Chain A
Amino acid sequence: MSFLDYSPAPESTSILKLQKQYGLFIDGKFQGSRGKSFATISPATEKTITKVVEATSADVDKAVKAARVAYDKVWSRMPGSERAKYLFRIARIIQERSRELAVAETLDNGKPIKETRDFDIPTAAAWFFYYAGWADKLEFATGGATPQSHGVIGQVIPWNFPLMMLAWKVAPALAAGNTVVLKPAETTPLTALLFAEICQEADLPSGVVNIITGAGKTGQALVEHRGIDKVAFTGSTRVGRQIAKSLAGRSTALTLELGGKGANIVFDDAPIDEAIEGIVSGIFFNQGHVCCAGSRLLVQENVHDEVLSKLTRRIETLRLGDPLDKNTDIGAINSKRQLDTITEIANSGEVEGASRWSSSCDIPSKGFWFPPTVFTGVQASHRIAQEEIFGPVLSVLTFRTPAEAIEKANNTPYGLSAGVWTEKASRMLSVVDKLQAGVVWANTFNKFDPTSPFGGYQESGYGREGGVAGLLAYLKTPIRTGGRK
């Protein structure tokens, strides 16, 4: 046996105590529904993990009403310092139950345990800690104006970072004094349901957080419900557009965090070995299921060959397989549907004339998998250079001058993220300044912190999550009544 064929090191699932069927978490209790029940499966094995229920519009109505009562009677009246205590408590319970949550997330989503353990769950806890600190200091965020919460927030989150996206949505909403009805993605409801248990454990007042499971129809019923004061959505640009349309003409506030086609720009004076790591984490982190993924590599022509040979050598060392194995780098694609989408767009890359290279890693026979793939010779007009693939597929383009790099990086209907790699500080500053992206990483990629706002330009959406900006998204815009402040 070769040393690099590391022996299996699976994380045990015995810590998980799941129920066979989960109801909807409304008004502080798990409740039954008339909706039909459906299985949530592990994408790595296609085995059923547990069953959840598809919330009907009557359920949505019930959840929104519960949130309204909780808002009117309890949460909006509670001093910020008291709300903070609940948020701190939730943060601590997330930490205490982190191993259980990491295992649940890995099972349900297919992402490697090392990512859920070292990234998803700690980041989720960090978000609650951070916004807990804001709950009694809102007037410092509003510049002295009386902070005003929206009321009931309808939140719909995606399947790529289930618990972390929940934290990004729920923590600032509650800190600002709102109550929420949240719908997790239909393929990854598990950690949201465990989060409901955490709310119970933290004695959070009934109705402040309501979690309803279901698919697109449930989500639609939620965002279109008249009792919702604000909608926060993270997901595809297609669905984001529908939501914006259906809310047009209503006073419901809306923030959208949508797709992206991030450019990762590597100049010839970059720290090459670290840039290789950044390219790898930019597109293969979480199997590329990242809205801010660095899915377009823009590499200066004179170092193209060197970068590509180092990159492919590095990708060959990535370990694809059982997500519960602690040494797995690349897990399963979240669903058959997503695998089909990735496969279809990747095939178009070959048809349109780009050259395809894939890691020679073994692909398990069960489950949904896609090997890390790199396309070279990609032209800006190719679909793989334009469309968000949301998978482990990197499109490599070249440039010759900084101006060309900026032009190509900005040549996208999106504008969520970008990365720049150069050891020359003046070049870094001048290029970063001209990139139209909500976040630009300098000599790194895919780094997140609760204090740092995150969000997009153009078709990547509007509104920010994280930092003060993310808090203000859950407060009404203060109306200045004149006078100097």
Chain B
Amino acid sequence: MVSASQALAPASRASSVLGTDLSEQSLRRYLNGLPRVDVIGANARAGHFQTRSLKTETKRQGLDLAIRMVDLTTLEGADTPGKVRSLVSHAIHTDPLDHSAPSVAAVCVYGDMHVSKDPSGISVAAVATAFPSGRASMKVKLLDTEDAVAAGADEIDMVIDRGAFLSGRLGEVFDQIVRVKEACKRPDGSYAHLKVILETGELATLDNVRVASQLAILAGADFIKTSTGKVQPAATLPVSVVMLEAVRDWYLATGEFVGYKPAGGIRAAKDALRYLVAVAEIAGEQWLDPHLFRFGASSLLNDLVMQRQKMTTGHYSGPDYVSVD
């Protein structure tokens, strides 16, 4: 498996994909040359995943997979060190009644919420670049990122400049991602994993989602992510269809794996399982791995755990048998 960050430096890699020097014009020509998306068709494809029926062993497997793929998130102005500590504990011990329940992939917090490194192997993701609006100078965005990386973040969730994207300054968006990626570099030469949030709710059309996905991948994103969770609509299945097609097409063209993270609005285990179906049927089963797929969610975890309890014990428990945070 070739991870995106080990490949060529983004700018030179992008020009090799474009087959020409990288310029605003060549970038636009390349992105406009992508196949368009038919909304009705994409919605129908999304509808298909809702009709899959996951039973017994597959359901059990899916619930465990889904728990392992959660980025347990708290992104509130009222977050405190105490709140984050309890989140980390919940992330590790997902089911207070069953210690065989898997831990989640990561906790996702604001960059100033210092999380003590724990031995459990879960990662710390920090949102950066003036999350959620992305409205700040580049200097601030880079500092925001460097600060989080220096504080020990394993993963950075950045937002793209939607204003620049919608006004057609695609090169600017590209440059920003490349520079944030550079800011993810640690003194030892390794990189914090970069997730690029497109905020699809503000991009409005599936064509834009397709273009923004490709742009982020081209600029070196390790993950493409739908939303901040602060804008409605957040993650939807039709948007996921398009973004999963983007990572699949990139893999088929280059052999490189880019991850996908839907975030916001996924609250029920049933919905999470539908996402797993979409991931497996569109991108492929290789993506059913926390390195390549994450759920950005807060309340989803407890529903997954309750459904898992139901599968184990044969009866439903209730919200009092999972921890509130």
A271 touches B53 (CB 8 A): no
| Chain A residue at smallest Cβ distance from B44 | A277
CB of B137 within 8 Å of the partner chain = no
Ranked 6 nearest A-B pairs via Cβ: A274-B41, A271-B38, A9-B53, A326-B53, A274-B38, A272-B35
Complex Cα distance, B53 from A9, in Å, reads: 6
CB of A273 within 8 Å of the partner chain = yes
List, in ascending order, chain A residues with CB within 8 A of B38's CB: 271, 274-275, 423, 443
Closest Cβ–Cβ distance, residue A319 to chain B (whole Å): 10
The listed residue (A3, A277, A278) touching B61 by CB distance below 8 A is A3
- Having A7-B59, A275-B38, one finds 9 other A-B pairs with CB under 8 Å, namely A5-B58, A6-B54, A7-B55, A7-B56, A9-B53, A114-B51, A273-B35, A273-B42, A444-B40
CB of A302 within 8 Å of the partner chain = no
For chain B, what secondary structure do more than half of its interface residues adopt (helix, strand, loop), or is it mixed? helix
The listed residue (B35, B37, B51, B288) touching A3 by CB distance below 8 A is B288
CB of B57 within 8 Å of the partner chain = yes
Query: In residues 274-289 of chain B, which contact A (Cβ within 8 Å)?
Result: 276, 280-281, 285, 288
Complex Cα distance, B252 from A271, in Å, reads: 18
Closest Cβ–Cβ distance, residue B310 to chain A (whole Å): 16
CB of A351 within 8 Å of the partner chain = no
Closest Cβ–Cβ distance, residue A372 to chain B (whole Å): 15
Closest Cβ–Cβ distance, residue A399 to chain B (whole Å): 19
CB of A2 within 8 Å of the partner chain = yes
Most chain B CB neighbours (cut-off 10 Å) among A118, A277, A444? A277
CB of A8 within 8 Å of the partner chain = yes
CB of B147 within 8 Å of the partner chain = no
- Given A3-B276, A6-B58, A7-B56, is A273 in contact with B245 using a C-beta cutoff of 8 Å? yes
- Given A2-B285, A3-B285, A423-B36, is A8 in contact with B55 using a C-beta cutoff of 8 Å? yes
List, in ascending order, chain B residues with CB within 8 A of A423's CB: 36, 38
Residues of chain B whose beta carbon lies under 8 Å from any beta carbon of chain A: 35-38, 40-42, 44-45, 51-59, 61-62, 65, 241, 245, 252, 276, 280-281, 285, 288
List, in ascending order, chain B residues with CB within 8 A of A273's CB: 35, 37, 41-42, 45, 241, 245
A4 touches B281 (CB 8 A): yes
A317 touches B281 (CB 8 A): yes
List, in ascending order, chain A residues with CB within 8 A of B56's CB: 7
Complex Cα distance, B241 from A4, in Å, reads: 17
A1 touches B61 (CB 8 A): yes
List, in ascending order, chain A residues with CB within 8 A of B42's CB: 273-274
Complex Cα distance, B241 from A277, in Å, reads: 12
CB of A327 within 8 Å of the partner chain = yes
B62 touches A3 (CB 8 A): yes
| Chain B residue at smallest Cβ distance from A423 | B36
A444 touches B55 (CB 8 A): no
List, in ascending order, chain A residues with CB within 8 A of B61's CB: 1, 3
CB of A270 within 8 Å of the partner chain = yes
Complex Cα distance, B49 from A277, in Å, reads: 13
Complex Cα distance, B41 from A444, in Å, reads: 7
Query: In residues 259-295 of chain A, which contact B (Cβ within 8 Å)?
Result: 269-275, 277-278
Complex Cα distance, B36 from A382, in Å, reads: 33
- Given A114-B51, A317-B281, A326-B53, is A3 in contact with B41 using a C-beta cutoff of 8 Å? no
A118 touches B51 (CB 8 A): yes
A4 touches B285 (CB 8 A): yes
Most chain B CB neighbours (cut-off 10 Å) among A1, A3, A9? A3
B52 touches A6 (CB 8 A): yes
List, in ascending order, chain B residues with CB within 8 A of A5's CB: 58
Closest Cβ–Cβ distance, residue B46 to chain A (whole Å): 11
A326 touches B41 (CB 8 A): no
The listed residue (A7, A309, A443) touching B41 by CB distance below 8 A is A443
List, in ascending order, chain A residues with CB within 8 A of B276's CB: 3
A1 touches B41 (CB 8 A): no
A7 touches B57 (CB 8 A): yes
18 A-B pairs whose Cβ atoms sit less than 8 Å apart in the complex? A1-B58, A1-B61, A3-B61, A4-B280, A6-B53, A7-B57, A7-B58, A114-B51, A118-B51, A271-B35, A271-B38, A271-B41, A272-B35, A274-B42, A274-B45, A278-B41, A326-B52, A423-B38
Closest Cβ–Cβ distance, residue B43 to chain A (whole Å): 10
Complex Cα distance, B247 from A128, in Å, reads: 45
Complex Cα distance, B277 from A6, in Å, reads: 10
List, in ascending order, chain A residues with CB within 8 A of B59's CB: 7
Complex Cα distance, B54 from A270, in Å, reads: 33
B54 touches A7 (CB 8 A): yes
Complex Cα distance, B53 from A114, in Å, reads: 10
Complex Cα distance, B55 from A1, in Å, reads: 13
| Chain B residue at smallest Cβ distance from A272 | B35
Complex Cα distance, B62 from A2, in Å, reads: 10
Closest Cβ–Cβ distance, residue A193 to chain B (whole Å): 28
List, in ascending order, chain A residues with CB within 8 A of B55's CB: 6-9
Closest Cβ–Cβ distance, residue A444 to chain B (whole Å): 7
Closest Cβ–Cβ distance, residue B103 to chain A (whole Å): 20
Complex Cα distance, B60 from A1, in Å, reads: 11
Query: In residues 394-432 of chain A, which contact B (Cβ within 8 Å)?
Result: 423
| Chain A residue at smallest Cβ distance from B248 | A313
| Chain B residue at smallest Cβ distance from A6 | B58
| Chain B residue at smallest Cβ distance from A329 | B48
| Chain A residue at smallest Cβ distance from B276 | A3
| Chain B residue at smallest Cβ distance from A281 | B44
| Chain B residue at smallest Cβ distance from A306 | B35
